[in-house]
Amino acid sequence: MVLGETQIYAQVREALRRAAAEGGAGVALTGVFHAASRAGRRVRQETSLGAAPDAFVALGADLAADALGDLRGRDVVVVGAGQMAALAVKHLHQKGVGPTRILNRSLEHARALAQRTNAEHGDLDQLPDALTHADLVVSATGAAGHVIDAAMVTTAMRARDGRPLVFVDLAVPRDIDPASGNIDGVTLLDIAALRDGVAAHSPETADDIAQAQRLVEDEVGRWIARRRGEELAPVIKALRRHGDAVVHAELERVRTRLQALDPAEREAVESAVRGVAAKLLHDPIVGMKERIEPAREREVALLLAQLLGLPDVENP
């Protein structure tokens, strides 16, 4: 949901590393993943896509401050103990929030983050009570389903005597039931809203998206050319051997005439002949890599081998 999210790029690379370690990635799959990584790297380097997680966390803190009037001294609960949760604590402390409690499924991880950030900590069993007292709840876990459901929020709001409660959901998929946003007194900000906010501050995004698409298309073209080069390697090698053989035969045919030249002139003539042969072969080789449809590669390669009399290519 976050265009250009750098963590996804890291996860793709990690997936390949694990697959290779477990013997589950062969030459073809590894090539695809390397091409994808190269495309992602170019997009990050040549466009402004890939907003850092900091941008979303900072915007979430700003919008929460707008909803509550001010964050100074506010009671805060952070659900989760990963990178996004740590960033949330950092930004909230910069805004002068009051007591901060970190709740996480793993109490050990909650304790570790709390010790680094001078916060309190606990496990998810404390969530119902925490919602009753908090002014702001920021959630950023890796859970597959909702960590905070609408029923839990409804119960908490009944005990709050009308005090507003703001949620910032930084998780994908969502940690907080979207229905919670319809409860009186509740403001729910999720990744979709934050994404729109970040985009509003980035007017160049549309151009960057178009540029990213062009970069991806370019890398796809390069990958196809490399793959076809590998598939057609026997024919290409045979073509080059054929060209070298023709050059050698022609030079041998005029060898006696070349002896009248000094060494530098003779080398220039031989180099020119080899260059002509290389140029004549260049276009057919590039054309095979870039223009032949995959389904016809074998047919065209075999035909070319037959036309040029390449007996050493029996199964291109």
| Residue in this structure with the two tokens 């119960």, named with its chain if needed | 155
Query: What is the predicted pLDDT for the residue at 316?
Result: 42
Report the alpha-carbon distance of residue 19 to residue 294 in Å, rounded: 27
Question: Which parts of the chain sit beneath pLDDT 70?
Answer: 1-3, 5, 50-53, 199-204, 229, 231, 288-298, 301, 308, 310-316
Report the alpha-carbon distance of residue 131 to residue 121 in Å, rounded: 14
Query: What is the predicted pLDDT for the residue at 164?
Result: 94
Query: What is the predicted pLDDT for the residue at 106?
Result: 94
Parallel/antiparallel/unpaired status of strands 120-122 and 136-139: unpaired
pTM of the model: 0.59
Query: What is the predicted pLDDT for the residue at 293?
Result: 66
Amino acid code (one letter) for 137: V
Report the alpha-carbon distance of residue 26 to residue 52 in Å, rounded: 32
- Calculate the CA dihedral of residues 143, 145, 148, 152 and round it to 10 degrees: -140
149-173 burial, b if ≥16 CB within 10 A, otherwise e? ebebbeebbeebeeeebbbbbbbbe
Q: At what angle do helices 27-46 and 6-21 cross, to 10 degrees?
A: 160
Report the alpha-carbon distance of residue 275 to residue 142 in Å, rounded: 59
* Residue 91, number of CB atoms within 10 A of its CB: 20
* Cβ 141 vs Cβ 80: under 8 Å: yes
Instruction: Give the DSSP H or E segment for 264.
Output: helix 263-290
Query: What is the predicted pLDDT for the residue at 273?
Result: 86
Query: What is the predicted pLDDT for the residue at 290?
Result: 67
Query: What is the predicted pLDDT for the residue at 50?
Result: 66
How far is the CA of 27 from the CAs of 17, 20, 224, in angstroms? Answer: 13, 10, 14
Query: What is the predicted pLDDT for the residue at 187?
Result: 94
Amino acid code (one letter) for 197: G
Helix (H, G, I), strand (E, B), or coil: what is residue 222?
helix
Query: What is the predicted pLDDT for the residue at 127?
Result: 95
